[in-house]
């Protein structure tokens, strides 16, 4: 009889937890892709990756400080457009809503998974 390498055995409960952890990681990765997918605001393609969000935040702060601000903004499709302070603030609000909707979708999926549901990970993202 050959010896069994116990380190290679994984109990069913441990396998199930590994599968749940992998699924949670997949949901988080899907959320991050949805966040970075961009959006269209007032007909302008707007990047929403982390760096773009940071730049939009800086522009929004400048717009709050200077309500007469007009700046050039490069859209996700490469166009340069002028944006006024109110447009910048509307853009920042739209991006924030987009990001929050992505986190809300992640939370809904994780809540469904926690009660044993099988949500469609591809559907329902902004």
pLDDT tens for 38-92 read 999 999 999 999 999 999 999 999 999 999 999 999 999 999 999 999 999 999 9
105 near 126, Cβ under 8 Å? yes
On whether residue 14 sits in a domain, the answer given is no
Q: What is the pLDDT of residue 50?
A: 97
DSSP labels, 47-77: --SHHHHHHHHHHHHHHHH-TT-EEEEE-TT
Question: Does residue 3 surpass a pLDDT of 90?
Answer: no
37 φ, ψ (degrees, to nearest 5): -70, -20
Distances (CA, A) of 15 to 114, 115, 124: 16, 18, 28
Local confidence band at 9 (pLDDT 50, 70, 90 cut-offs): low
Residue 81 is part of which domain span?
40-118
CA distance 55 to 83: 14
On whether residue 45 sits in a domain, the answer given is yes
On whether residue 81 sits in a domain, the answer given is yes
On whether residue 10 sits in a domain, the answer given is no
On whether residue 93 sits in a domain, the answer given is yes
On whether residue 4 sits in a domain, the answer given is no
Per-residue pLDDT tens for 96-120?
Answer: 999 999 999 999 999 999 998 989 9
On whether residue 87 sits in a domain, the answer given is yes
Local confidence band at 6 (pLDDT 50, 70, 90 cut-offs): low
On whether residue 28 sits in a domain, the answer given is no
User: Mean of the pLDDT values across residues 22-51?
Assistant: 97
**Residues whose CB falls within 8 Å of the CB of residue 61, separated by 6 or more in sequence, listed in order:** none
Number of folded domains that form the chain: 1
């Amino acid at each position: 009889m050959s010896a069994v390498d116990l380190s290679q055995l994984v109990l069913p409960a441990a396998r199930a937890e590994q599968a749940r952890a992998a699924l949670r990681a997949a949901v988080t990765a899907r959320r991050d892709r949805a966040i970075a997918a961009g959006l269209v605001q007032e007909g302008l393609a707007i990047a929403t990756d982390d760096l773009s969000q940071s730049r939009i935040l800086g522009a929004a702060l400048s717009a709050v400080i200077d309500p007469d601000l007009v700046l050039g903004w490069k859209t996700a499709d490469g166009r340069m457009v002028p944006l006024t302070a109110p447009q910048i603030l509307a853009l920042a609000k739209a991006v924030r809503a987009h990001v929050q909707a992505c986190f809300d979708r992640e939370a809904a999926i994780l809540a469904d998974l926690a009660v044993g549901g099988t949500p469609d990970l591809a559907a329902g993202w902004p």
